[in-house]
Chains A and B, each alone.
Chain A
């Protein structure tokens, strides 16, 4: 569009000044691919500024001087073409689409740029890269595909959560997640359900996405001001193209399996270890082994040791093979005035855990209509409905989630009693039967969501337009939980139920003015605007207990209502925004962004702030001296600096508040109220300043392209709690203080390794190096959260005692004290920094090989150097000293003096007198979680056209794909993708699916 305006302008401004003209050339420009006419193509007389552009029918008419020898045709998304003028007056051109060209459009927020104009650091992922993949939300598509963008799955629940960090994190209490914007609508991100893991971004069907842009540097993101401190992810959905309607349909089905690396010992072996643990304990206490065995027996088998000890594998018992199916249909097309894209999809995914399921249906209609030459109307309407059932992943150890429960439940515990009822008496763990919990508890979330927008653009002049935009991200979620009386957690209450209804309304309105002008070689454009956004979230919930029958789960079937809640939260953001771009001959590029932003989350004294960014670029390739070096096809230097903000997480964090203060029945219940928060009118955004240098390089006609960026991000005014003396009645107050920095390098390398008519092999390799450091805390502190954050060290330290192995003399676990000497009983003063949870580098490697109709595409995702805390090992690696499941490695426990082993001797209770509990967090439970994972593999076969033409469908493809098929790691936990504490994690499944797509 902008090119069109520019061309028109050139035509008006320059052409009128032209002198001698002696003939008129007409012609039609079409697309080589489908033969359809191309509107808006710039047509220029070679070596002059004389030009025109094609109309809606692809036709143009141009007066050319007698000296003219050739015409140059250029248009966005097509390779420029030069056609010699013969003697005739008609010159037609047929343009070849070129998605790899530098003229490719990059969405930058409130506008677009061509790739060649970009001066910041922006990663782009095209929709084709993840089309038809068995993923439910697009954030999963970011995995391994953009340098410096670290994506971790936080749950294997289908449609579940994900965490995205752009260029590391340099905050402690602020949000670490980027701002997501779908077609101009700023989204809330995160989970929407309180019952299971439901990702709000799953309301967008990934197959509807045209491209995803990630604004990584501060200058590019600055146009989003106080919300942009963690980078911005812009999602653009597909639009129709003028021409013949395209219908695309695809269907696939597949299955998923749980990924469980734990090799557990069987019940009989487990019992041997348990006895050994008791014997060791009793002998150490000066008592006899027979007494130990008798106590062990009473504690393990109250009714006597059975003749054969049956083994029960609880992990297998709660696992299932998931089935997934996915159906998509889209129709797109249009004419010169109206373009449309309409789609629908349906997903049905079983998780790998009993009762875990996700179903979703989506519809979308994107329409653009030119009301007149001056008015453009665009609408993008989407609806998504989903139903999710499944366990919660982040609360509780047994009743709320099965993951810890099944991992810890000892193999001697049966699942069912002899009469077929569930066993509810357990040895070693809480009397919770995870299979029963999963099967009998109702835990579900129904969501209904729309992310839609409407905009009207009015072209006042060819180079001046105004645009009004309104968008909404609306969701309704209904959470239900029901625990029948048969579950022990609800037995006392006669069954319990809870239902919560949540409504989130998040809307954005924007008004912008766009202006552009060129004077000879000087190109100038400006954008100014105002934006307002309001987010509100309300919940209404009720709980009840005392159900007449376990079969009726609605609250109305309960005899006693136990509570009702309603909550409200929200914030408003408003700001003025501006962007100015200037370039000279497209060779020297300059851009500035500014935003004056205010938010209700900021304290009264600091409600508005100024955010800005400047960037510049030098397209060296366009300099004359580069013309003689043919190996280079592209070369550009880029530099940028920007200041953005990270908003405080709390909606009302700056106000003095009285909140709900419980209740008391004396005897009639009365509600209480109490001081909840001290005021801090100074509370405001965290400041993120980022400097970025980069270059883009293209070699051998862009067979090799490289983007390199180096950056430093300094976050200051970090929101930190100032601890108050507890006797003041308050724990802490939030304040802005403290500083952290992160710096790194992003490299993105694309190569076309082989390109023949039949065979093509392309590779993308990306890698992001990142390191961060805490520079300053508030109040003169040198560490907080018990050394998790220490000044001068990277954020997220693991600071604990150091394991020194097993004493060969007596089999006890040893530790190092602060002086490096061996001790059995280290204290807090003997702790060391034993791990850094930040990876040294991470990234992805994609290879695409195609031979005739067959395409093989595979993506490896990798991460290196991050330490992880294995909480599961604190139970599973106790050599039988605890009545939980044990892993096979524990059979190497110490048994005889002189034995060299890394597994201490079993000791009931795990505390040898005079020593520390073996369960105490030490470096024994910290290890590197580096991995390489074959994240996706797709094999597709496009049936030859001569076959498919016969059946009337020009394009038929078969595909077979896999997710998470292989993982190379030394990590002992369930899934190296899960960072941090590894208990209670729903592992990512292995998925294999196959399907068919047709297009005509």
Chain B
């Protein structure tokens, strides 16, 4: 009798346990399963937001693509004692001091692949969400093209600029191409790098598809802000890709023209009177695509004061806000010398000592914490940039006069003299100088030298003679973890 009782109790316990395998299940609340996340258009929209968020990272567009190109090349002299180790190595072009966008860009690409793999297959999309569905797809295609373009130009050569001598001779590897999302471990298989031409072909394909999708929306007015990629900026990016590609100048000009067409473009050219003031506007009136930062949500705590563009480029204690910075990125003497005294763009440069040194340096005010403490927007592509790229594409086709007209148009709007703008082959170099005058501290200089196959010059203040175009440091190192996982990736030469 009593023994039976024992058996009942134990058996009861066993049953209650086995019938309750569910007893040890618990669902997360801060995260959801992929099925729930991607149930509707709004879910995909949230993934697209994640891509913009990733682009905002300091290691990607948030700082490095917006500034490091000037430090790696000849626009910036980094004052090491002031910079708190920020860009000190980059300014001296030391080994491994370079861009590191691999993780951020591929994170964005996987998000974009997730969108592109599923957005068309959504069923039961309400009528009022159809346009959003198309819009998301168009932006995703454009951003995937841009992300691959960034990887291609940071880690590989441009198709027609592969060195033929030196350690990197005939090295034609570029990005790893992945066009489908990773949802399971086996899908994260090891792949090798595609060739430069394959990657550029893929970029063109995405951007053309993006443009076609934007056009299918049949919008009747230009966008009200440049905070998301749109048809206008996609044309501009595609034109830029053609310019980097080489030998596609006519196609580039067509894209640049479309990009600036008033029917679809937000951007307008600033004039000499307000160029300085426009840098204090959000968005910048010249922006085709601008990453917007909301200080209260995105630049809180010490993130801004440690990593933002403001803290890199403003003298500590002697800036408009009177706050401490890690300012060490100063305007190189050669760059300053390029700007004549009457040029309105000189108004963006000031001379100052800092709270911790009596020595005065030249600084720029392009990043003046317009968006709140240590917060500035990043102008990914700007009207003047497009104008100068168009001039370059024209000059490449020996249309020197047409090219000069665009340069004159820009200089007129900058209060700079138009005397001496050449209408001969000399305009080719003149355009590059104009790009320095116009686009300094916006991250372009390194890529401009590299895509043209030129040697990297350095400010005399660095005491360096610069890099030959054939130097291995023209390419950034692929993260070493990727190489140890897959030596056949392969790593860029000499790293």
Contacts and interface: CB of A to CB of B under 8 A. Distances in A.
Interface of A: 298-299, 302-303, 396, 399, 424-427, 430-431, 460-461, 464, 466, 488-489, 491-494, 496, 511, 513, 515, 528-530, 532, 534, 543, 545, 560-563, 566-576, 596, 598-600, 602, 607-608, 651-652, 655-667, 669-680, 722-731, 733, 909
Contacts of A909: 80
B66 interface: no
Contact of B109 (A430, A489, A729): A729
Contacts of B358: 298, 302-303
A726 B176 CA distance: 10
Contacts of A560: 296
Interface in B155-184: 175-176, 178, 181-184
A464 B300 contact: no
Given A302-B358, A576-B13, A663-B294, 9 more contacts: A298-B358, A425-B355, A532-B23, A561-B296, A658-B38, A661-B49, A667-B294, A678-B183, A729-B178
Interface stretch (B186-194, B340-348, B378-386, B453-461): B186-194
16 contacts: A431-B356, A489-B305, A492-B304, A528-B10, A543-B300, A571-B26, A655-B28, A657-B31, A666-B228, A667-B294, A672-B51, A680-B185, A725-B190, A726-B479, A727-B178, A729-B110
Contacts of A571: 26
B114 A675 contact: yes
B9 interface: yes
Given A528-B13, A660-B30, A728-B178, A430 B110 contact: no
Contacts, number: 275
Q: Which of B5, B13, B481 lies at the interface centre, i.e. has the most chain A CB atoms within 10 A of its CB?
A: B13
Interface string B44-84: 01111111111010000000000000000000000011001
Contact of A670 (B13, B49, B316): B49
A492 B296 contact: no
Contacts of A562: 296-297, 300
Contacts of B20: 574
A601 B107 CA distance: 26
A563 B49 contact: no
B355 A674 contact: no
A665 B178 contact: no
Contacts of B301: 496
B52 A396 contact: no
Contacts of B38: 658
Given A562-B296, A661-B47, A679 B184 contact: yes
B53 A664 contact: yes
B305 A492 contact: yes
Interface in B235-259: none
A573 B176 CA distance: 43
A613 B323 CA distance: 63
Most buried by A among B103, B228, B305, B482: B305
Nearest to B84: A430
Contacts of A659: 30-31
Contact of B324 (A431, A529, A608, A728): A431
Given A489-B302, A664-B49, A729-B109, A599 B32 contact: no
Given A513-B10, A562-B296, A727 B37 contact: no
A65 to B, nearest CB: 31
Given A488-B324, A572-B24, A675-B110, A665 B297 contact: yes
Contacts of B476: none
Given A529-B13, A673-B37, A726 B482 contact: yes
Contacts of A399: 302
A724 B188 contact: yes
Contact of B21 (A302, A494, A598): A598
Nearest to B311: A492
A302 B28 contact: no
Given A657-B32, A730-B182, A673 B56 contact: no
Contacts of B373: 492-494
A222 B184 CA distance: 34
Interface string B317-334: 100011110000000000
Interface in B282-305: 292-298, 300-302, 304-305
B218 interface: no
Contact of A673 (B2, B49, B113, B185): B49
Measured as residues with beta carbon below 8 angstroms from the partner, the interface class of chain B is 35 or more
B29 interface: yes
B17 interface: yes
Nearest to B478: A726
A131 B23 CA distance: 41
B305 A671 contact: no
A332 to B, nearest CB: 34
A663 B33 contact: no
Contact of B292 (A664, A677, A724): A664
B13 A728 contact: no
Contact of A658 (B34, B80, B321, B353): B34
B227 interface: yes
A543 B298 CA distance: 12
Contacts of A488: 323-324
A608 B22 CA distance: 11
Given A568-B28, A670-B45, A725-B188, A665 B356 contact: no
B31 A676 contact: yes
A364 to B, nearest CB: 31
Given A570-B26, A728-B106, A729-B182, A675 B357 contact: no
Contacts of B353: 302
A662 B56 contact: yes
Contacts of B357: 298-299, 302
B46 A673 contact: yes
9 cross-chain pairs, A with B, having the tightest CB-CB distances, nearest first = A729-B110, A662-B53, A661-B50, A492-B373, A672-B49, A658-B37, A672-B50, A728-B188, A568-B29
A727 B304 CA distance: 28
A661 B305 contact: no
Contacts of B56: 662, 664
A430 B324 contact: yes
B21 to A, nearest CB: 7
B369 interface: yes
A600 B46 contact: no
B10 to A, nearest CB: 5
A569 B183 CA distance: 23
B102 interface: yes
A545 B369 CA distance: 16
Contacts of B225: 666-667
A673 B46 CA distance: 5
Interface string B344-383: 0000000001011111000000000100111000000000
A431 B316 contact: yes
B486 interface: yes
A496 B304 CA distance: 14
A528 B6 CA distance: 10
B297 A663 contact: yes
A427 B21 contact: no
A302 B354 CA distance: 10
Contact of A464 (B6, B28, B293): B6
Most chain A CB inside 10 Å of its own CB: which residue of B106, B191, B353 = B106
Contacts of A669: 294, 297
A508 B384 CA distance: 67
A492 B369 CA distance: 10
B26 A725 contact: no
A10 B184 CA distance: 64
B187 A662 contact: no
Contacts of A496: 300-301
A381 to B, nearest CB: 27
Contacts of B302: 396, 399, 489
Contacts of B131: none
A427 B355 CA distance: 10
B43 interface: yes
A77 to B, nearest CB: 31
B7 to A, nearest CB: 10
